[in-house]
Each structure stands twice: as structure tokens, then as C-alpha cells.
Structure 1
Amino acid sequence: MSTAPPSPATWPDWSGPTEHCMPPQGSAGSAAALDWLEALGERQGWPTRTRMALALCADEALANIALHARTPAGAPAQRWLSCGPTAAGLALCIEDDGLPFDPTTQPSPELADSLDEMAIGGHGLRLMRHYLHQLLYQRTSERNRLLLEVAWPQTP
């Protein structure tokens, strides 16, 4: 998986039509966005593992945006979602109008020997890095853009 800052060559192009969603702000908006993503996956017949991996990673990203992202004026950030096919599989682009924040530059915490020793925070990024083909970030037009790309399962 790539977590390097994207160049135009690594940020994938859509290879087909995209679907769009603008959920309300806050945790209710996160739930609405996940419902939209689930319905989209069912309607388009995505493989179950692909649908589950993308939903799990989207849930993590959307929850963090709802919890932490704020506009320069201090208001909760608005989110916009686009989802569609790429050459490698399927991607979800999550945009928000919050202050700049690149999660791809954040390290994953060290794994602890026990739950008592585990550091709080950062494990969602570890999960995303595990399940995604690519996790990319851009800052464009005063928006954070996070791309979650899953690869289609290989057929024998």
C-alpha cells in the first residue's frame, strides 16, 4: 500500500461513472454516508469483502472527520463523498472543508504486548493501511481530499 504524498501519476483517475453524496455534519452524517455507501455497493454488486473493507475504512475516516475536522471559523467541517471504479479496483474520495490535515503522514503506534500497555489512538490508520490498496491525501481548493482505494479480488 502506498501512503506517500500523491503525485498526479499516483492519484488514480476514475475509470467509470462516479456516485456522489453530501451527508449532513456530525455523527448522523457519518451514519448516512455509510448507509449510502452500503446501498451503492449492493446496487452495483461489489464483492462482499470489498464492500466490507471499504465500509470499515470509510467509517474510520468519517468518524475522525466528524470528531476533529473544523473550518477556519471553528465550525464542524462539511463532507463530500465520491465513489467509483479505478484501474486497480474501487475508490472512495472523502473531501472536507476543515483545516489542512494529512492523515497519511501520521505514524501507526507500536503494537503493545497487552491491552493495558496499548497506546490510545492511531490504530484506525493501521487498520486502513492493512485493508486498502492505497490511502492518499491531497489538499486542493481549500479542501482535504482523502482517497481510499480497494483492489478488486483476484479471480483464479
Structure 2
Amino acid sequence: MSIETGDSVTFAYTGRLDDDTVFDTSRQSVAEETGLAEAQPDREYAPLTVEIGDEEIIEGLDEGLVGLEEGATETLTIPPEKAYGEPSEEHVQEFDTEELEAMLDGQRPEVGSYLEAQGGGQGEVVHVDDETVRVDFNPRLAGETLTFDVEIIEVN
């Protein structure tokens, strides 16, 4: 039975960047080999179950699973526009340095550190001087072409 919109699909995956760096996986062995398990010790690495078409995963992956069958393995290449989009200056915010320091209990942010926004998104501090702090809230994988090796475990 081929996967269609509305189906519940359980699949294992490994996501890579163009330089072959693994950025995510559902496989414990891959997580251990690549250091992801050490970086995220509390994470459980297990197959993912999603409903196709419910926007639970990035658009390109959702579309790429359609038509596959239980037991199939496939490599899907997903361009930025079907993943996390291109980086945008709209997602870079400027803050008054003194005000931000006050919000951080007197700590001065450092370039390369991460801040969490009220909505839960994370941003990387990309500039700090006496007047302003610039924080980039673009998704970490914005602008990246992603490659997923998927294995379809179950289709309902």
C-alpha cells in the first residue's frame, strides 16, 4: 500500500547536510557514531510517527514520503524552500544592550551564545557593542539543502 495524505506513517531517518554532517536522526547507533547522543543525552532516538499532510514535519519530507510503501528505503533531497526557507534579515532583531543585560540579570550577551525568545524560539547572538545586540532568530537549518535517508516501518 502506497503512502497517501492522511495516512499515519512510522519511519526511521537520518538527516544530513551537503557536507555529509548528520544534523538529526531517529537511529540510536547513528546518534552515538556522530556524537549527537552525547550532545543530547536526554533525547530518545526512536522511529517517528506522523500523519501525512498534518504539517508535523517539514514540507519536503512530508511530500517525499507520499507514494512510498512499507519496508521501502529512500534518500530524499529537500531544497531550502521545502525545508526551513532561506535566511532572512527579518529574523535578525536588534536590542538595546543595557535593556537586554537587565533582562539577563546583568549578564552581557556574547557573540555565539544563544538566547530564548518569549515564544520559545532560539536566536544566536551575532553582534554585541555598547549600544546594540543583534540576535539571529533564523532557523538553524535555514538556507540548507537537506538529505534524509528514510526507512518506512509502518503505514496505517
TM normalised by structure 1 equals 0.25
| Higher relative strand content | 2
Find the structure with the greater CA-based Rg. Answer: 2
TM normalised by structure 2 equals 0.25
